[in-house]
């Protein structure tokens, strides 16, 4: 199919979605996928129709968080149907649904961009209030393609308080701005740790506060490092986790 035909298909699919928000960081392992899942759950609980697209082709982790690794999507005349999450009926799509357990996808950048565009064109999200896109780490092919093909309402940057993370997230902020994509704010993950026995709070730095100030961004949420959250993520029960760090945040 010709490139511009595919772009036109993507445009028509995206037209039916009111708001499209990507979760990004630049840095790996800071909690992008966890934040993407928690934000999707927050919005679904508010009564919105939500889709969650795992755009991390090399390290998909959304199905694991929702305990859906073994699910398979169905095809319909409209395209590939997302799989519904158990509790909040979030419409989820991930390459993990198509690849056998433990098998790595070994693709170079151009191939990833091609498959990403196919997903954007053929996944049948239907009408959505929100599509949340979980980006892979880095500022490479996937974020570039998403920003080019999807008319994003904005990106949310996930950072940790550490200075080292801040310097990498800064690159991602600059990349988004260069691509004319709005940065909606920063979610600081692993923000602090509160000892469940003595109540003492340990903080790990001010990197994201300084970053927010430097770029005039708001801190949308601060999420603590928490054993319960980690356990719920690992056991595929993120929908059962009861805390909502986004409170009244409606992007
Ligand atoms: N606030 C938290 N408290 C405890 N554990 C957390 C927290 N946030 C994330 N984790 C855990 O840290 C690990 C990494 O999180 P996650 O997969 O969301 O990061 P990521 O930025 O998406 O990683 P990648 O760059 O590989 O895509 C996961 O095992 C997750 O369960
Ligand atoms: Mg991830």
- Expressed in angstroms and rounded, the spacing between residue 219 Cα and the centre of ligand 2 is 20
Q: CA nearest 17: which of 54, 49, 40?
A: 49
- Pick the atom of ligand 1 nearest to 34's CA: 18
Ligand 1 close to Cβ of residue 56 (< 6 A): yes
Classify domain 3-240 at the CATH class level.
alpha beta
By the 8 A CB rule, do 6 and 113 touch? Answer: no
- Pick the atom of ligand 1 nearest to 30's CA: 21
Judged against a pLDDT cut of 80, whether residue 2 lies above it is answered with no
- Pick the atom of ligand 1 nearest to 27's CA: 25
b/e sequence 44-80, b meaning 16+ C-beta within 10 Å: beeebbbbbbbbbbeebbbbbbbbbbebebeeeeebb
Q: How much of the chain, in percent, has pLDDT values that exceed 70? A: 100
Domain assignments of the chain as residue spans, ordered by start:
3-240
Q: What is the pLDDT of residue 27?
A: 94
Model confidence over 197-211: pLDDT tens digits? 999 999 999 999 999
Model confidence over 4-19: pLDDT tens digits? 899 999 999 999 999 9
Mean predicted confidence (pLDDT) in 205-222: 96
Model confidence over 153-199: pLDDT tens digits? 999 999 999 999 999 999 999 999 999 999 999 999 999 999 999 99
Ligand 1 close to Cβ of residue 137 (< 6 A): yes
């Amino acid at each position: 199919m010709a490139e511009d035909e595919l772009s036109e298909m993507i445009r028509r699919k995206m037209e039916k979605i009111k708001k499209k928000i990507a979760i990004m960081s630049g840095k790996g392992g800071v909690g992008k996928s966890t934040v993407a899942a928690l934000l999707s759950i927050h919005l679904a609980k508010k009564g919105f129709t939500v889709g969650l697209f795992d755009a991390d082709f090399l390290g998909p982790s959304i199905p694991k968080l929702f305990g859906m690794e073994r699910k398979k999507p169905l095809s319909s005349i409209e395209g590939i149907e997302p799989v519904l999450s158990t509790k909040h009926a979030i419409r989820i799509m991930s390459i993990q649904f198509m690849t056998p357990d433990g098998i790595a996808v070994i693709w170079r950048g151009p191939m990833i961009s091609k498959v990403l565009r196919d997903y954007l064109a053929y996944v049948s999200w239907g009408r959505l209030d929100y599509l949340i896109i979980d980006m892979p780490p880095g500022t490479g092919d996937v974020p570039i393609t998403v920003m080019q093909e999807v008319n994003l309402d904005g990106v949310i940057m996930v950072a940790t308080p550490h200075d080292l993370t801040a310097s990498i997230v800064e690159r991602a902020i600059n990349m988004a701005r260069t691509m004319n994509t709005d940065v909606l704010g920063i979610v600081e993950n692993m923000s602090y740790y509160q000892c469940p026995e003595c109540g003492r709070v340990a903080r790990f730095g001010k990197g994201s506060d300084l970053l927010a100030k430097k770029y005039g961004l708001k801190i949308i949420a601060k999420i603590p490092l928490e054993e319960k959250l980690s356990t719920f993520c690992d056991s595929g029960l993120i929908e059962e986790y009861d805390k909502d760090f986004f409170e009244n945040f409606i992007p």
